[in-house]
Structure 1
């Protein structure tokens, strides 16, 4: 489970608490992943519950087909094609039916993130970053990333940590909530930098190259040792704009189904970032801080309106001298 609130005695992650969930509406659903996001209230505060069918471990699938089914309801019988709904046998080694994730209390930002909305491409110049984006990032209260600090300080999710490097130049590597830990082909990890001063790739400097190399090395080693996933089977990338402003790197199996977060414009390969930083001066602004970035934003994103207004104004004046 994921918690976005400060430590509290209220327990949202037991059956008794979830039975009090007051459903309001469906934010988003996906027939591809068999999941939906539900908006409601828990303990009187807004909450989002993500309900998803769990993935099947390919190594366990043959055994399930042969002797792990309790019942079969065939709804298509037209040789050579057959389809059926099946129920798994219950037992100590039974697979869970659902994966649940909870954001409680959720904010308007969370609600907008998980609500379908049109997306538009925008170009962010260094000048727009300084005048619009950086003040937007600075406006977030520290509580917004309290859950991140709880992880890197070892107060939360310590049992899930796969690798941890201490100090301001260190990081913590752990499974992402998008992965249930079952199928290696759906592997998804996150490496979170300890230095809170690095909010996004715009803050990276050449001095951060050792940190990025260390993250890359740890990801390769952990994935090979624990799951037999080789270096060439991993995609390491950084989002811009990110979903939260504390620098982190995504580590994803190359066979993972492509999601919106892997689209060109938002996902930047870690190897490319290291290359840009190595071409940057030892002291002073990095190439990343001086580049213009083009990316898609949902029209409800807090940055969309001010960035779009500036670009529309510039387009209106195009060709005027």
Structure 2
């Protein structure tokens, strides 16, 4: 692949970079298949196979699971669990509404507790890719990152064919355009045959927090 090498970085910088990448990938995942959206994901039937990646800074974890069907065959799934940000309008309920406070450490005026809020105030955003392919599993698996110098010929003959071979289906885009999925989420539609478009909120925004 021509001249190349890896750029060294400190463990702290590396950890922050990897966590940042994990946060972005969790936000960018778009499980928008119209057919799959009709039936809820069978979470209770999911068997955890392995943890693909953790993002401590982003409070997210990427899981590889398997759902066993009636025939006994297993189907792979990627499940991303992500702690949601605090919502200001719910802070009062969080502090008062059947919340359990368990002391961990106390020293002079300082103390640390574990706070256990009720289920409706302890939401975890869950993103599911199901059924998942080997490409999805590899995408979310923690991997070493290297900086490589490449020529135009390297890109054309090596990198570009690899990117094209690893590309994911964009059927979810056509589902929106054909209104097979997320039709109720459409904010604006321009039917112009040349410059028309459909505007839909991104799934990484809960439409409440600004």
Which TM-score tier does this pair reach, normalised by the shorter chain? 0.5 to 0.7
Q: How does 1:16-95 map to 2 (within 5 A)?
A: 17-42=42-67, 43=69, 44-61=74-91, 63-89=92-118, 94-95=120-121
Q: Report what 1:151 is aligned to.
A: 176
Aligned match of 1:109: 135
Contact 1:55 1:183 in 2 (8 A): no
| 1:266 equivalent in structure 2 | none
Following TM superposition, by how much is the alpha carbon of 1:140 offset from its aligned partner in structure 2, in angstroms? 6.1
**Higher RCO (Cα < 8 Å, 6 or more apart):** 2
TM-score, normalized by length of structure 2?
A: 0.66
Query: Structure 2 matches for 1:237-252, cutoff 5 A?
Result: none
- Give the direction of change, closer, same or farther, for the CA distance of 1:30–1:140 in structure 2 (3 Å limit): closer
Correspondence for 1:11 = 39
Counterpart CA distance in 2 for 1:122 and 1:171 is: 38
Q: Deviations over 1:166-187 (max 9, x none)?
A: 4453444433333444432xxx
- What is the aligned partner in structure 1 of residue 22 from structure 2? none
**TM-score (ref. length: structure 1):** 0.46
Residues 88, 6 of structure 1: alpha-carbon distance in 2 compared, 3 angstrom cutoff = closer
* Distance change >3 Å, CA 111–CA 8, structure 1 → 2: closer
Distance 2:198 2:186 in 1: 7
**The 10-residue stretch of structure 1 (117-126 or 24-33) with the greater mean CA deviation from structure 2:** 117-126
- Distance of aligned partners of 1:151 and 1:82 in 2 relative to their CA distance in 1, 3 Å threshold: farther
Alignment of 1:281-296 (within 5 A): none
Query: Distance between the aligned counterparts of 1:176 and 1:151, measured in 2?
Result: 12
Could you list the per-position Cα deviations for residues 223-249 of structure 1 after superposition, in whole angstroms to 9, with x for gaps in the alignment?
A: xxxxxxxxxxxxxxxxxxxxxxxxxxx
SS across alignment from 1:120:
coil
Deviation (angstroms), 1:83: 2.3
Change (3 A) 1:161 1:121: farther
- The secondary structure found in structure 1 opposite 2:146 is strand
Moved more, 162-171 or 69-78: 162-171
Retained in 1: the 8 A contact 2:103–2:111?
A: yes
SS at structure 2 position matched to 1:75: strand
Matched, 1:131 2:157: yes
Gaps of 5+ in 1: 185-321
Unaligned runs of 5+ in 2: 1-28
Alignment match, 1:231: none
Counterpart-to-counterpart distance in 1, 2:34 and 2:166: 16
Which residue number in structure 2 is paired with residue 244 of structure 1? none
The CA distance in 2 between the partners of 1:39 and 1:103, in whole Å, is 10
Q: Does the CA contact (< 8 Å) of 2:185 and 2:201 recur in 1?
A: yes
CA deviation after TM superposition for structure 1 residue 9, in Å: 9.3
SS in 1 for 2:135: helix
CA RMSD, Structure 1 to Structure 2 (Å): 3.2
Count of aligned pairs between the two proteins: 176
Cα deviations by residue, 1:82-118 (Å, 9 ceiling, x for unpaired): 322223346xxx4352211100111222111211111
Asked whether the 8 Å contact 1:68–1:89 carries over to 2, the reply is yes
What is the aligned counterpart of 1:98 among 114, 119, 124? 124
Q: Describe the shift of the 1:164–1:118 C-alpha distance in structure 2 as closer, same or farther (beyond 3 A).
A: farther
Give the conservation status (yes or no) of the 8 Å contact 2:32–2:181. no
